[in-house]
Structure 1
Amino acid sequence: MAVEGPSGAGKTAVAERLAAELDCPVLHMDDLYPGWDGLAASVPLARAWLIEPLLRGRNPRWRPFDWDLGRHATAWREAPVGDALLIEGCGTGAEELRPYLSVLAWVEAPAPLRGQRLARRWDADLYAPYREMWARQEDAFYADHRPREHADLIIENPAAGLL
């Protein structure tokens, strides 16, 4: 299952709650993005590191991005997968990934609330200089891939206290 939506919509919180209910791992696209301009480049990585191993009956393996060093780590991480796996983050609803998903969930919230949530993130100061650049990437990605239109489930997350 993939949990997609714009920054600040509450994807991570939704994915964590679902994973707890399903007793399955959550893989975060934040580990795959190759930097602040790497939304589009993360999709082939998600396919190669997460989807293709599953298709071969193996566990997903990835090299997490080290945001301090600005590169992917040299060591690989692996997630044991049972009956379910959640992939969370912008890019999970990409056209090339959708054929391999059982469920695509879209999480949305009003833009002002998303901005407030982003300002309260633990990494808000680090993220702040890149918010506009990231938002442009999201807009371009969503225009090209239209994940909301292909979502099996739309989760409206409008309340500040929910997720």
Structure 2
Amino acid sequence: MHSRSNDPLAQALQRGAASVIDAVVAVEASNPVVVIDGRAGAGKTTLSRMIAANWPVAGRPQLIALDSLYPGWDGLDAGAERALHDILRPHARGLLSTWRRWDWELEVEAEAHAVTPALGVILEGCGALTPASARLADVRVWVESPMASRKHRALERDGDGFRPHWERWAKQEERHITRDAPQKLATVTVTLP
């Protein structure tokens, strides 16, 4: 996972992914759970994909984005609760479970996805790291990035679909950060430019 890139973001992502992978190895579990939190545009999705691509444990990890669980633009807390109830708690008890994808266009639940307790889980999204989820996670990650960079990346990625909701979403993030202090629950902090 060595990068020859001179891109500061790519280098920081490489370092961050390597730190998380080292933490996964240190857990010495066959089905580790990694929870990745951070504000919109921080780099959580890119980081989680890099970790999944270089997963150091036998079997592929189950990569689940909270973006697939939030029930709409006011659903940060509800999405985090669904992840806890439908994914993290059953996985911790060794139970097969399912979660339903949220269809953003139709604004309804869509198809179900299975989660097997035999494989590791990478859960990423704002709201993912709470006191309740921290108890069930082997590796807890907070991704930090300056607001201007985050906003640029988020709007570049999601464009006009996100633009009118930026402030509305940021208020929910602020509430989560104030209430749950995910930065303090993290075992690994990844700082991206």
Q: Is the structural similarity TM-score above 0.5?
A: yes
Number of the residue aligned with 1:161: none
Number of the residue aligned with 2:178: 143
Q: Which has the higher strand share?
A: 2
Task: Read off the aligned partner of 1:129 and give its amino acid letter.
Answer: P
Aligned mates of 1:12, 1:42 — CA distance in 2: 16
The one-character-per-residue Cα deviations of 1:104-134 (angstroms, maximum 9, x if unpaired) are 111111111111101210x321111111100
Q: Is residue 52 from structure 1 mapped to residue 74 from structure 2 by the alignment?
A: no
Aligned residues: 156
Deviation, 1:151, is 0.6
Aligned mates of 1:59, 1:129 — CA distance in 2: 38
Q: Is the 8 A contact 1:35 1:71 kept in 2?
A: no
Alpha-carbon RMSD across the aligned residues, in angstroms, is: 1.4
Paired residue secondary structure (2:64)? strand
Aligned mates of 1:55, 1:156 — CA distance in 2: 29
Gaps in structure 2 of 5+ consecutive residues: 1-33
Q: Is the 8 A contact 1:3 1:87 kept in 2?
A: yes
* Mapping 1:13-24, distance limit 5 Å: 13-22=46-55, 23-24=60-61
The one-character-per-residue Cα deviations of 1:58-102 (angstroms, maximum 9, x if unpaired) are 3341110000011212x3111445442100001110122110010
Task: Please point out which of 101, 108, 111 is paired with 1:71.
Answer: 108
The one-character-per-residue Cα deviations of 1:123-148 (angstroms, maximum 9, x if unpaired) are 32111111110000000110000000
Q: Is the 8 A contact 1:24 1:81 kept in 2?
A: no
Gaps in structure 1 of 5+ consecutive residues: 159-163
Q: Is the 8 A contact 2:87 2:115 kept in 1?
A: no
Task: Read off the aligned partner of 1:147 and give its amino acid letter.
Answer: P
TM-score by length of 1: 0.90
TM-score by length of 2: 0.76
